[in-house]
A and B are shown apart, each in its own frame.
Chain A
Amino acid sequence: MKVLIIVPAHNEEKNLPTLIPKIEAMGWDCLVINDASTDHTGDVLDEMGVPHLDLTNNVGLAGVTRMGFMYAWENGYDCAMVVDGDGQHPPKYIKLLIDKIEEGYDYVIGSRFVNKPKDRSLRMIGSRLICAAIKLKTGKTVTDPTSGMRALGKSVLEDFSESMNFIAEPDALTHVIHSGHKFTEVQVEMVERTAGVSYFSNVFRSAYFMFDVLMSILFMQ
């Protein structure tokens, strides 16, 4: 099975030198997509000699993953997996997800909450709301809809390379379930961000994101 590991990276000059060798050691192809970083990410990638795309304009995480899926589909890969360039997805879990694709699943998510409870923070209340919306729409139970760590089989890859009219991960997941692809979750741990500021530290931005995602899940997928 031909597997491509897609690593979206935006200003990750510090994280990539430790992350990429670990991924490459596993023997799968790796493609780093440098989303118009303003630091030395591009130079670091050239130095390491890892296959990468340098984007001219910043297109955001959704746009970058879309490009990764298009690349994987055009180059005949059977499976594509997303591993964030900021190091929050530990490489040791990559194989677990890819094994599930090999078993015949079309879409596998690395979930933090398959057998671990969610805490009661504001962010997890948002996560619960999204889970409830997905349950309402598709009737399926999911535990970690916002997880960006996912592996795609060939059928979903074809689907996504044609069109990806999604806000983010949760409505993409809804679309996958709704169109009848085989989906499962795998328990993983994620590393909390140590440096930088999260996109969701702004309350208004989070509320706006929640509104968009819920609208998309309920009415448009």
Chain B
Amino acid sequence: MLDLLSGFVVELRNAGLPVSLTENLDAMEAVKHIPIEDRDAFKYALAATLVKNEQHWKAFETVFEVYFSLRGPEYNVLDEEGEIDEDSLEEWMSQQMRGMGGQGSAEDMSPEEIAEMLFRALMNADEAMMAAMARAAVTQFAGMEPGRPVGGTYYLYRTLRNLDLDGMLDRLMEQAQERSEGDMTSLQERLEREEFENRIEDLKREIEAEIRRRLVADRGVEAMAKTLRKPLPEDVDFMHASREEMANIRKAIQPLTRKLAARLARKRKHKRKGPLDFRATVRQSLSYGGVPAEPRFKNPRPNKPELVVVADISGSVAAFARFTLHLVYALQNQFSKVRSFVFIDGLDEVTHMFQNEEDITNAVHRVNTEADVVWVDGHSDYGHAFGVFWENYGSEINSKSTVMFLGDARNNYHATNAWVVKETAKKARSVFWLNPEPKSYWDTGDSVITEYATHADGVFECRNLRQLEGFVDHLA
């Protein structure tokens, strides 16, 4: 047990989770009190001691499934030698079948039969049945062969393609319509659909888990854990984030912008003294017989930070641009005054598009369609865009503004106009540059980041949430 647990912890660390020694000891203590047979409780006990960040839950769960999937009473598909025990699986299957009508074992079932039974299981939300059907479907459709070097996603795709779950959803809805004899209100219909979608999601998860279980049995725990290893949400590269990862990142941006706002506004809370208040000092000196023993200072003016964001949204940083727009939108909610500009080779202000828009997707869409950012050919031209920026808006930068440039500084060999950044830095409180490219690529090819960087207060590599957070921390 202890071996298993330490292997588990090592894998968690490999997956990037920060597990300290004390936490490890806590986990060992915890499992003494909770029997491994109570799988869920066991899982939560480990999670409570080892995972201290909700974002890491998913990574934890995956590793847990791999390590403990074959242990526990209902998952006894392994026999002593560690090979899949087909007999016991079959037996278990047919038991399940008999329970609901007495067809033969999974091998004999035709795809139609599986679909039909699955349909019934989904309709009645019969969980045991759904699990059984997930197993049957994997056996039937995934075509898994031991030792074949393909990933779990391939099998998952094959299984799902054969099951045609979209068609299943439509059928379920029809059935539900019939059952209520056609007098369903649109609200009820919507709720019903969501319920079915939910059940189908459960089914997908079940199938995925089943495939994983079999793969683990085939390839062994360590190998499997390695293939399933995914970067943690804070390490996902903005440039290569999948849609799902992007959604996660978006969720994580909110608290970060709050933090950023707090950091920039913080100075007003610290009791940093303003200039000497002569009158108050004289008044105070009266109590010391006219000796100005205790100097008085003016309270500093509260500092309302203004943020100016200038973001590159050209094709080369498209994925990053999507993220920056989300960031800008989130910032807009936090700061009283944010002005946002986007550019490719022309530059346009987009503040108003974010301001009155509740829905971020609408706002992003508007920016992409309405903003006038193309000047000649729609290839990045930082020099020209900055020129426009200085000419039209430069006069509005003042000592309260913090200016953030977001972009990779790949300028297609145009003139850099770095003096704009220099002049901006002179007038603004601070100027930062966030670059989505890895540091090793900077100044290679047409990247001219250093020319701009020399004038900015700081240039930060910003490829994932962790780095963005580092930037925010740096501001303190």
Are chains A and B native binding partners rather than an unrelated pairing? no
Interface residues of B (CB under 8 A from A): none
